[in-house]
A and B are shown apart, each in its own frame.
Chain A
């Protein structure tokens, strides 16, 4: 199964092959769940990330087999489905939420974030939505620019340019925070 392509694994999983489904999950499940969790971190809650990805895999099983033949890139296609599902979940939550307390209660439930660089994550939060999404797709979902172009249905070079801008913005935020921290340390000493 290790040498089998993602396309073949998806096709086999669609026929009910458990081993193929396990292999596909081990290849993409973690990244996709992390993406969904990071997209939902400030609204419905990162704990819904696994549910979103599981729901997407279940929906894939119900899709017609001919649809699977037209897929260009399996990772990009699954990321597209997870992204849409996460956006829908976020909208549903935003419509039905009781108040800001519900949002705050969900932050910090991300299992992956516990060991991650909290400073970098909070700097990511300062970016605009579309900039944050590019960073998430590139580094959390682990997509290439070609795959990102498939997911967002935009030109590859345009996305690469926007990504560089987002990266620059993130660097500025991080530099500003580090300078402020150094200045704070200098004053206290």
Chain B
């Protein structure tokens, strides 16, 4: 018997063994596929719910929080300005007392007072 013939005989044996086991897919596999489909559907629904919640947070909640934060920052800045203003005035007074008389007179005449910072733009000689 040649090798080729012998291999054909083995092929026939293999086909015969395989055909003996040909048949429909086992029921357990059908059930597993059904469970898998259900699990994937539940996962998709969960994912969609999470995305929806994220959308709600981003679109509705975050902008309100932003406005609130902006107001808080402005309040903070105002309180800092109030706290710093008296100290700043004292500092300017000390500086002006220590300076030379001529230079002092000139600077006092030309520059607005530090304590009047908020009204500096309206001071005479400011160019307006």
Chain A residues with CB under 8 Å of chain B are: 13-18, 21-22, 25-26, 29-31, 33-34, 37-38, 49-50, 54, 57-58, 61, 110-117, 120-121, 135, 138-142, 167, 170-171, 174-175
Contact = CB atoms under 8 A, between A and B. Distances in A.
Given A26-B25, A33-B21, A141-B14, 10 more contacts: A29-B21, A29-B23, A30-B22, A31-B14, A110-B17, A115-B16, A140-B14, A171-B1, A174-B1, A174-B6
A114 B20 contact: yes
A66 B33 CA distance: 18
The 3 closest A-B pairs by CB, nearest first: A112-B20, A16-B37, A112-B17
B contacts with A: majority SS: helix
Nearest to A21: B33
Given A61-B32, A61-B36, A171 B3 contact: yes
Contacts of A115: 16, 20
Contacts of A16: 33-34, 36-37, 40
Given A117-B9, A167-B7, A30 B21 contact: yes
A37 B23 CA distance: 15
Contacts of B1: 171, 174-175
Given A16-B33, A121-B13, A139-B13, A34 B20 contact: yes
Interface string B1-33: 101001101111110111111111110111011
B21 to A, nearest CB: 4
B13 A117 contact: yes
B30 A18 contact: yes
B18 A140 contact: yes
Contacts of B17: 34, 37-38, 110, 112-113, 116, 140
Contacts of A113: 17, 20
A167 B33 contact: no
Given A25-B25, A120-B9, A112 B19 contact: yes
